[in-house]
Protein backbone atom coordinates (compact mmCIF):
# COMPACT_ATOMS: atom_id res chain seq x y z
CA UNK A 1 0.00 0.00 0.00
CA UNK A 2 1.39 3.36 -1.05
CA UNK A 3 1.94 6.09 1.48
CA UNK A 4 1.17 8.71 -1.16
CA UNK A 5 -2.28 10.10 -1.91
CA UNK A 6 -3.75 8.99 -5.23
CA UNK A 7 -5.28 12.25 -6.47
CA UNK A 8 -7.33 10.35 -9.07
CA UNK A 9 -9.02 7.99 -6.57
CA UNK A 10 -12.57 9.12 -5.92
CA UNK A 11 -15.97 8.06 -4.61
CA UNK A 12 -19.46 8.94 -5.78
CA UNK A 13 -22.02 10.35 -3.36
CA UNK A 14 -25.65 10.16 -4.44
CA UNK A 15 -27.77 12.93 -2.96
CA UNK A 16 -31.42 12.62 -1.96
CA UNK A 17 -32.79 13.89 -5.27
CA UNK A 18 -30.56 11.62 -7.39
CA UNK A 19 -27.85 14.19 -8.14
CA UNK A 20 -24.33 12.87 -7.72
CA UNK A 21 -21.13 14.41 -6.40
CA UNK A 22 -17.66 13.00 -7.14
CA UNK A 23 -15.28 13.40 -4.18
CA UNK A 24 -11.63 12.65 -3.56
CA UNK A 25 -10.90 9.64 -1.37
CA UNK A 26 -8.13 11.40 0.53
CA UNK A 27 -6.26 14.66 0.92
CA UNK A 28 -2.50 15.00 1.08
CA UNK A 29 -0.94 15.92 4.41
CA UNK A 30 -0.59 19.55 3.28
CA UNK A 31 -4.15 19.74 1.98
CA UNK A 32 -5.44 18.23 5.22
CA UNK A 33 -3.43 20.71 7.31
CA UNK A 34 -4.73 23.66 5.28
CA UNK A 35 -8.29 22.36 5.57
CA UNK A 36 -7.97 21.99 9.33
CA UNK A 37 -6.60 25.54 9.56
CA UNK A 38 -9.69 26.78 7.70
CA UNK A 39 -12.10 24.54 9.61
CA UNK A 40 -11.31 25.39 13.17
CA UNK A 41 -11.82 28.90 14.41
CA UNK A 42 -10.86 29.15 18.03
CA UNK A 43 -12.74 31.16 20.64
CA UNK A 44 -11.35 32.14 24.00
CA UNK A 45 -14.02 32.63 26.65
CA UNK A 46 -13.74 32.50 30.42
CA UNK A 47 -10.20 31.17 30.14
CA UNK A 48 -11.35 28.19 28.05
CA UNK A 49 -10.43 27.48 24.46
CA UNK A 50 -13.07 25.96 22.20
CA UNK A 51 -13.93 25.64 18.54
CA UNK A 52 -16.39 28.28 17.40
CA UNK A 53 -19.57 26.34 16.65
CA UNK A 54 -21.18 29.39 15.10
CA UNK A 55 -19.26 28.78 11.87
CA UNK A 56 -20.55 25.29 11.01
CA UNK A 57 -21.76 26.40 7.58
CA UNK A 58 -18.35 27.83 6.66
CA UNK A 59 -16.75 24.59 7.84
CA UNK A 60 -18.99 22.53 5.54
CA UNK A 61 -18.14 24.81 2.61
CA UNK A 62 -14.40 24.29 3.21
CA UNK A 63 -14.83 20.49 3.39
CA UNK A 64 -16.79 20.50 0.13
CA UNK A 65 -14.21 22.66 -1.63
CA UNK A 66 -11.40 20.36 -0.49
CA UNK A 67 -13.03 17.08 -1.56
CA UNK A 68 -15.50 17.68 -4.42
CA UNK A 69 -14.08 17.16 -7.92
CA UNK A 70 -17.25 16.98 -10.05
CA UNK A 71 -21.04 16.90 -9.86
CA UNK A 72 -24.14 16.24 -11.93
CA UNK A 73 -25.86 19.54 -11.04
CA UNK A 74 -27.81 21.36 -13.73
CA UNK A 75 -28.95 24.95 -14.16
CA UNK A 76 -32.61 26.04 -14.36
CA UNK A 77 -32.70 25.11 -18.06
CA UNK A 78 -31.44 21.57 -17.34
CA UNK A 79 -27.92 22.12 -18.70
CA UNK A 80 -25.15 20.41 -16.72
CA UNK A 81 -23.05 22.87 -14.77
CA UNK A 82 -19.34 22.20 -14.93
CA UNK A 83 -17.88 21.89 -11.45
CA UNK A 84 -16.05 24.95 -10.21
CA UNK A 85 -15.06 25.19 -6.52
CA UNK A 86 -16.34 28.77 -6.23
CA UNK A 87 -19.86 27.59 -7.15
CA UNK A 88 -20.04 25.76 -3.81
CA UNK A 89 -20.47 29.20 -2.24
CA UNK A 90 -23.72 29.57 -4.22
CA UNK A 91 -25.30 26.24 -3.22
CA UNK A 92 -28.14 26.23 -0.71
CA UNK A 93 -27.22 25.36 2.88
CA UNK A 94 -29.06 22.02 2.84
CA UNK A 95 -27.12 20.83 -0.20
CA UNK A 96 -23.79 21.84 1.31
CA UNK A 97 -24.69 20.05 4.53
CA UNK A 98 -25.77 16.90 2.64
CA UNK A 99 -22.50 16.80 0.65
CA UNK A 100 -20.38 17.41 3.77
CA UNK A 101 -22.25 14.63 5.63
CA UNK A 102 -21.58 12.26 2.73
CA UNK A 103 -17.89 13.12 2.78
CA UNK A 104 -17.72 12.64 6.55
CA UNK A 105 -19.43 9.25 6.20
CA UNK A 106 -16.96 8.09 3.55
CA UNK A 107 -14.00 9.26 5.64
CA UNK A 108 -15.38 7.42 8.70
CA UNK A 109 -15.67 4.22 6.64
CA UNK A 110 -12.10 4.68 5.42
CA UNK A 111 -10.82 5.06 9.01
CA UNK A 112 -12.61 1.84 10.03
CA UNK A 113 -11.10 -0.02 7.07
CA UNK A 114 -7.60 1.24 7.90
CA UNK A 115 -8.03 0.31 11.58
CA UNK A 116 -9.06 -3.23 10.63
CA UNK A 117 -5.85 -3.52 8.60
CA UNK A 118 -3.79 -2.24 11.52
CA UNK A 119 -2.91 0.99 9.69
CA UNK A 120 -2.77 4.41 11.35
CA UNK A 121 -5.65 6.82 10.88
CA UNK A 122 -6.02 10.55 11.25
CA UNK A 123 -8.48 11.93 13.75
CA UNK A 124 -10.50 13.93 11.20
51-55, 85-89, 113-117: least confidently modelled range = 51-55
For residue 24, the model assigns a pLDDT of 95
Q: Is residue 65 part of a domain?
A: yes
For residue 60, the model assigns a pLDDT of 87
For residue 3, the model assigns a pLDDT of 81
pLDDT digits (tens, 9 = 90+) for 2-39: 788 888 899 999 999 999 999 999 998 888 888 877 66
Global pTM value: 0.79
Instruction: Output b/e per residue, 57-95; b: 16+ Cβ within 10 A.
Output: eebbbbbbebbbeebebeeeeeeeeeeeeeebeebeeeb
Domain count, the chain: 1
Q: Is residue 1 part of a domain?
A: no
Q: Is residue 47 part of a domain?
A: yes
Q: Is residue 100 part of a domain?
A: yes
* Domain that residue 50 falls in: 10-116
Q: Is residue 4 part of a domain?
A: no
Amino acid sequence: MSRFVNREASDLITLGNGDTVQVRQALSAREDALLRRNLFRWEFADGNVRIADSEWYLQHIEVCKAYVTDWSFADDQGRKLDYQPELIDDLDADTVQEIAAGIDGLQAQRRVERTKKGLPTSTR
